[in-house]
């Protein structure tokens, strides 16, 4: 009975956090404060939403997908993010138990969810999430050494730091080398032998330095390093490349070439890495030694 009560509590709590994440996803890339106005407003008519119209998932159903004032359609994204967060918290509860671990990794997952949707919408991962999350990861590592498989505080914070440096550093290096190969060397070859510029250049705005990978991705992976340590952060990068490559090819064939943001792949890969790193690493070794 108590178990069921805890599950319901965590699920409902997750839905309310999801509701707040929706606010972050909407406001952070638009540089609107997440505190002022403190009450949610309709993105269409800007009217403040009544508290009883702002209950996660339930209000969406009762309002029949429409704003009470202007009848504008409410996006499916709102209940989707609320459900996603609620189920994520429930899965974490089953995996970690009702403990401080749940608290720590619920924060981590929440950051990833915001990063996924802001990157999809705007190709932006807000610094509040990446840099703020990085700081949270370091601070939490100093308080909860279990995050880095130890009971010694100094070792935990050291591993968290290493995670930031190695994860951020590797992706920074990747970005430099990747940009050079793709935009400098690739462009040179393309002009020299095919008499045309690399078509991807068109997708960047005037004056914007073309780049295969944004600073947001680097900061996001550094944040993941702070929470999960460098080994799992590298596994995350590896999985993100496989996922991104796979989906990228499909999107490329279907839409004839458009850039897709890399952040969501990093975030999804981080979740896979968090739950399955042991099994995956064992699998790689068994393949290697075969």
Instruction: State the residues that interact with Zn ion by CB under 5 A.
Output: 42, 44-45, 67, 69-70, 72
Cα 24 to Cα 228: distance, rounded to the nearest angstrom = 23
Per-residue CA distances from 135 to 14, 103, 233 (Å):
22, 16, 16
Which position has the token pair 């994860």?
Answer: 167
Closest separation in Å from C-beta 22 to Zn ion: 15
Q: Which is nearer to Zn ion, 37 or 97 (CB)?
A: 37
Of the pair 42, 142, the CB lying nearest Zn ion is at: 42
Least distance from C-beta 139 to Zn ion, angstroms?
39
Place of tokens 């510029």: 197
CB of 67 to Zn ion, least distance (A): 3
Cβ count within 10 A of residue 99 = 10
Using CB atoms within 10 Å of the CB of residue 122, give its burial: 0 to 12 exposed, 13 to 18 middle, 19+ buried: middle
How many Å apart are CA 113 and CA 102, to the nearest integer? 16
Which of 42/198 has CB closer to Zn ion?
42
- Min CB(71)–Zn ion separation in Å: 7
Q: What is the DSSP letter of 136?
A: H
Round to whole Å and give the CA distance between 244 and 265.
6
Nearer to Zn ion, 42 or 57 (CB): 42
In terms of CB distance, is 48 or 277 closer to Zn ion? 48
Least distance in angstroms from the C-beta of 210 to Zn ion: 39
Least distance to Zn ion, CB of residue 48, Å = 10
Element (H, E) at 204: none
Residue 256: DSSP 8-state? T
- In the bound state with Zn ion, the residue whose beta carbon lies nearer, of 41 and 146, is 41
Dump the DSSP string for 6-75.
HHHHHHHHHHHHHHHHHHHHHHTTTT--SSSS-S-B-TTT-PBPPGGG-STTHHHHHTTTB-TTT-PBPP
Q: Which is nearer to Zn ion, 45 or 189 (CB)?
A: 45
CB of 42 to Zn ion, least distance (A): 3
């Amino acid at each position: 009975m108590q178990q069921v009560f805890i599950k319901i509590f965590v699920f409902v709590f997750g839905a309310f956090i999801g509701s707040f994440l929706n606010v972050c996803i909407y406001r952070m890339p638009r540089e609107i404060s997440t505190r002022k106005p403190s009450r949610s407003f309709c993105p269409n008519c800007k009217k403040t939403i009544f508290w009883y119209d702002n209950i996660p998932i339930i209000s969406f159903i009762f309002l029949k997908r429409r704003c009470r004032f202007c009848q504008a359609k409410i996006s499916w994204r709102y209940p989707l993010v609320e459900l996603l967060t609620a189920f994520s918290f429930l899965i974490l509860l089953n995996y970690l138990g009702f403990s401080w671990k749940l608290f720590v990794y619920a924060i981590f997952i929440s950051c990833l969810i915001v990063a996924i949707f802001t990157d999809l919408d705007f190709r932006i991962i807000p610094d509040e999430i990446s840099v703020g999350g990085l700081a949270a990861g370091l601070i939490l590592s100093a308080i909860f050494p279990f995050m880095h498989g130890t009971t010694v505080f100094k070792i935990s914070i050291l591993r968290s730091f290493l995670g930031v440096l190695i994860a951020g550093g590797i992706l920074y290096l990747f970005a430099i080398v990747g940009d050079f190969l793709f935009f400098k060397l690739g462009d040179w070859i393309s002009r020299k032998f095919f008499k045309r510029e690399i078509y991807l250049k068109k997708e960047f705005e005037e004056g914007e330095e073309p780049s295969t990978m944004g600073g947001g991705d680097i900061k996001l992976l550094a944040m993941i390093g702070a929470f999960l340590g460098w080994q799992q952060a590298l596994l995350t990068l590896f999985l993100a490349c496989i996922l991104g490559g796979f989906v990228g090819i499909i999107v490329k064939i279907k839409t004839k070439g458009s850039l897709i943001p890399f952040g969501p792949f990093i975030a999804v890969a981080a979740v896979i890495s968090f739950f399955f790193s042991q099994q995956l690493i064992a699998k790689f070794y068994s393949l290697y030694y075969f």
